[in-house]
Amino acid sequence: MSSHPASTDLPYVLAITGASGSRYGLRLLEVMLQSGCTVHLTMSPAAGEVFKTEMNRPVDLNQVTLAELFPEADWIEKSAARFQYYRHFDFSAGMASGSFRTAGMVIVPCSMGTLSSIAHGLSGNLIQRAADVHLKERRKLIVVPRETPLGTIQLRNMTTLSEAGAVVLPAMPGFYRQPESIEDLIDFVVGRILDQLGLSNELMQRWGT
C-alpha cells in the first residue's frame, strides 16, 4: 500500500536499538524519507549486531549511509539531503539539547535496556539523552518495544514512561485484514507509529473501511 504522510519543516529523531525488529525501523525511515520528512537517525552498537543478523549484511556505525541501509533503492539520492546520522555517543548532535526543535522521536525497536534507562532518567548515550530531552520538553516520544513475555519490571518501566508522557506502542500487528506477507505485518506497526506522529498514511487497511 502507498503512504503519503504530511511532512513538517522540523526533523524527526529516529533511534534503532538492539532489540529484534530492525526492519520496523528501516521501513519507518524509508516511508518518512520518501514522503518528504527530515529524519535524524542514531543507532546503538547492539543495533548494528542485530541488523547484521536480521538483514544479512553489516552496517558501519561510524557513518551510516542510506546506500548501506537500502542498497537496492532508487530513491536515496532524492532523500539524501533530508537524512542525517549521528553516532551513539555524539552529544554534539542537536537532538541532545532541548533548544534543538524537533517534530518528535521514535525508538523502534526499543530494547528493554533502553526503555529502562529512559524510565529512570539516565542519559548515558545519545539515544537516552534525546529521549530524556523529548520528555522534558513535552514533545512526542514513541517507544516501540518488541519483547515477550514481559516481566513485572518491564511493565512498571512502561507505566513510568507512559505517565511521563511517552507513547508505548508495542510491535503487535493486527490480523483482522488477513495480512499476506511479513511486509504487511511490518506496515501495520509502522502505520500505527505514523498515526501517533500525526502523519497520514495508507500503509494498512483500517477497521471499518
Domain boundaries, the chain: 12-196
On the question of a cis peptide bond just before residue 109, with omega within 30 degrees of 0, the verdict is yes
pLDDT tier at 2 (50, 70, 90 boundaries)? very low
C-alpha cell at 107: 525508538
Q: What's the mean pLDDT in 70-85?
A: 96
pLDDT in tens, 128-173: 999 999 999 999 999 999 999 999 999 999 999 999 999 999 999 9
Whether 12 has a pLDDT exceeding 60, the answer reads: yes
Integer-rounded Cα radius of gyration of the chain = 16
Whether 181 has a pLDDT exceeding 50, the answer reads: yes
Supply the pTM of this predicted model.
Answer: 0.95
Q: What's the mean pLDDT in 2-30?
A: 87
Multiple choice CATH, 12-196, 3.40.250.10, 3.40.50.1950, 3.40.630.30, 3.50.30.60:
3.40.50.1950
What sign for the dihedral angle of Cα 128, 16, 12, 140? negative
pLDDT tier at 8 (50, 70, 90 boundaries)? low
Residue whose C-alpha is closest to residue 143's, from 117, 172, 104, 170: 170
On the question of a cis peptide bond just before residue 149, with omega within 30 degrees of 0, the verdict is yes
- Around Cβ 88, how many Cβ atoms within 10 Å? 20
Q: What's the mean pLDDT in 113-126?
A: 98
